[in-house]
Structure 1
Amino acid sequence: MPNIRIIDSISDPGSPSRPNEDAAGGNASCAFVIDGATGLGGKSIVGLNGSDAAWLAQFAKDSFEEMVRNGRAMSDIVHEFNACAANVVQEAANALPIEPWNLPIAGFQLVRVEEGGVVTHGLGDCRLFLLGADGAEFDTSAIKGGFADERDGARLAIAHTGGFSAYQALADDPLVRDELRKRRAAYNQSDSGVWTLGTEPAAAKHLATEPLHIGLPASGLLCSDGFAALCDQYGRYSVGEFVKAARDIGLSALLEELRRIERVEDPDGHKFPRFKMSDDATAVLFEIVE
């Protein structure tokens, strides 16, 4: 029977002026990362330090650590969690209408021992990177190639705003914000193709699930897209190099490299287009052993 062992984790807010909207955790049978989606200018509904995304990420962390046990299907867990979150949001809103783009949402990626094997489940654009005992590499996300779409959208936003001189988060620009609101309002709809943790229980039917067939012992990284940018957006590592670097030099050193790129090498976002100068960055380093 395989076992998952968490070796290290790190989580860093993209700005000292904003709450960290990521979370990470695990228990005896799983490890995971959660990435709450930053609000788009609406009034906070539930709020943790003024952030519904931070509330949802922390709520999901606590719920997953309690619920991902005893062989219970991950789809059932996501369905129950989203139903519970919807109740909390509706009660906090005092029956007032909520714009679809203002509903709290989050992505996640989780690795879990199931029925004698190891499986990954996810929603959204968090990432999994694996390096097997034989050197085989594997990476995945619930939204395949999502980082490329993110980069293309950010490139257009950078061209419009000129960079981060006026806004450290491009969503603060009215035109960019309106476009992002339009996209987010379509999430968790039958024709959207993007499903998340949040207030829609039907997202459980769209859970991305993949068995992991890789030589053991294996090392892995679960990352929010902000941390995965070192590999996906900034091209500093291949999949295997990324996992090996986390194992050899540690997550703190990788975080320092990430922030140096964003704040020293490319502070205006022209070299590496992105919607924020620095996003929240979270990673869990783990191993899978027999």
Structure 2
Amino acid sequence: MRVLIASEPATPGRDNEDFAAAAPGLAVLLDGAGIPAGLESGCSHSVAWYARTLGGLLLAEALDPRTSLADALAASIERVNALHSHTCDLQHPGSPSATVVAVRVAGDRLEHLVLADSVLVLDRTDADPLVISDDRLAGVLARLDGPDERPPLGSAEHAAFQLARVRKLNDHRNRPGGFWVASTRPEAAEQALTGSTPLDRVRAVALLSDGASRPADRFGLLTWPDLLALLDKNGPAELLTQTRDAEHSDPDGTRWPRGKASDDATAVYWALHD
């Protein structure tokens, strides 16, 4: 089995709030939810700290095959809570949070878990790629966003728009009818998309933060088969290079409206049968 990982921050020199790691028969990816300037979180720790800490604990918990991926995530959230409950307000609606993708070999099957809007792509031997992403956040945003055009990226108006948007989202996070993400509530793990696929039907898997999936699901520059072929031939670093090239060609978001000109981008490519 061959596992390749590439990750880089949205801009050089700033914290990368993504996390990815692999162990024998297991891979995880987390995308920390950035907090706009002017918004408090009630926590003395950074989003990057949260994603790395939760991701490392999840990797350890999920190595036990007797523990389901959802139970491993719930236990990891509880353990992170215990690490900072004495210093931070875990009831604050803006507490650090992260998306989660995990895949694990279990006997003759490949198990998966997806929570929030990172992407898992299964390169299947007998069918088109299966793309798994939790679209509940997108559903909430569709209800919240008005019909007006989004202000240009980099403008003061855009910064104010993003701040107001995140404040509204906090009222829908980890609530029925809203969207679910890893934060301070272990029960969010029960809301993850989970399942399994016969191992002999999966050639490879790609775990992508939404900053790395942009060429396929936002920019329309690659189909999912194209993206998988690129990862297999050139590796995840090339996917990130093409993502940055596209972003730099549209700095104000005119062609591809988006919340951030560039986002932290992480891709994991796991070839299962090399």
- Report the TM-score range of the alignment, normalised by the length of the smaller protein: 0.7 to 0.9
2:186 corresponds to 1:206: no
Matched to 1:116, the amino acid is D
> Offset at 1:271?
0.9
TM-score normalized by structure 2?
Answer: 0.88
TM-score normalized by structure 1?
Answer: 0.83
One of 242, 251, 266 as aligned partner of 2:236: 251
Assess, with a 3 A threshold, how the Cα gap between structure 1 residues 84 and 13 changes in structure 2: closer, same or farther.
same
Distance in 2, Cα, partners of 1:103 & 1:20: 18
Assess, with a 3 A threshold, how the Cα gap between structure 1 residues 204 and 148 changes in structure 2: closer, same or farther.
closer
Aligned partners of 1:218 and 1:288 also within 8 Å: yes
| Structure 1 gap ranges (5+) | none
Distance in 1, Cα, partners of 2:211 & 2:140: 14
Deviations 1:207-240 (A, max 9, x none): 2102224754602211001101111001111111
In the other structure, the counterpart of 1:136 is 128
Assess, with a 3 A threshold, how the Cα gap between structure 1 residues 257 and 22 changes in structure 2: closer, same or farther.
same
In the other structure, the counterpart of 1:46 is 44
Aligned partners of 1:36 and 1:53 also within 8 Å: yes
Aligned partners of 2:109 and 2:199 also within 8 Å: no
Assess, with a 3 A threshold, how the Cα gap between structure 1 residues 98 and 15 changes in structure 2: closer, same or farther.
farther
One of 279, 282, 286 as aligned partner of 2:266: 282
1:162-241 → structure 2 map (5 Å cutoff): 163-166=152-155, 170=158, 172-173=159-160, 175-192=161-178, 194-213=179-198, 215-216=200-201, 218-241=203-226
> Offset at 1:276?
0.5
One of 71, 76, 90 as aligned partner of 2:71: 76
Give the RMSD, CA atoms, in angstroms: 2.7
Matched to 2:212, the amino acid is F
Aligned partners of 1:136 and 1:214 also within 8 Å: no
2:59 corresponds to 1:59: no
Distance in 2, Cα, partners of 1:12 & 1:258: 11
One of 85, 90, 99 as aligned partner of 2:92: 99
Assess, with a 3 A threshold, how the Cα gap between structure 1 residues 89 and 155 changes in structure 2: closer, same or farther.
farther
In the other structure, the counterpart of 1:86 is 81
| Structure 2 gap ranges (5+) | none
Assess, with a 3 A threshold, how the Cα gap between structure 1 residues 82 and 149 changes in structure 2: closer, same or farther.
same
Aligned partners of 2:134 and 2:193 also within 8 Å: yes
Identity among equivalent positions (%) equals: 24
Work out the number of aligned pairs and report it: 271
